[in-house]
Amino acid sequence: MDFKIESNNDYRIVFSDRAYDKKDWLTEYTVSLHSPSMNGAVRVLNAPYGQSPLELFESIEKDWNGWNGEKSWGSMEGEFDICAISDKTGHITLKARINSGHYVPSARLETELVVEAGQVEGIAKKAKGFFGC
């Protein structure tokens, strides 16, 4: 099951290819960023400690009518990070970045997409399904 966040102009953040250990812990997954002219993907390790990106999506859902500042999450190894900024008109800008590594040579891809406040409940529900909570 993939988890997709899509804007109406064909920009997408896609979570896919989950892998589990013998204890059914989600150990890693793929995040891919898509735009009309660029695509990229990275494998993200999901450490058994720390926070899950699910917490970010639940926080956005809870504050669907807006908040001040930025809400953000980043993977422990730095392969993926995402932040959310809301405006007063019911739009949420998601900024996502994938990174191939910490040392040269490395590659980085960033994307921004806008979702409507009315989409956040569905996004949070899909995140819960993907991250297994």
CA distance 39 to 41: 7
**Mean pLDDT value across the chain:** 92
CA 55 to chain centre: 11
Domains of the chain (ranges, CATH numbers): 3-131 (2.30.31)
CA distance 80 to 69: 20
Residue 9's pLDDT band, with cuts at 50, 70 and 90, is confident
pLDDT in the model for residue 3 = 95
Counting Cα atoms < 13 Å in the Cβ hemisphere of 6 gives 8
Sequence-ordered list of residues with C-beta below 8 angstroms from that of 82, at least 6 positions apart, any chain = 13, 53, 56, 72, 73, 74, 94, 95, 96, 97
pLDDT digits (tens, 9 = 90+) for 56-88: 999 999 998 889 999 999 999 899 999 999 998
* pLDDT tens-digit map of 96-122: 999 998 778 889 999 999 998 889 999
Q: Looking at residue 53, what DSSP letter applies?
A: H
Neighbours of 75 (CB within 10 A): 22
pTM: predicted TM-score of the whole model, two decimal places = 0.92
Q: DSSP assignment, residue 132?
A: T
pLDDT at residue 79, as a whole number: 94
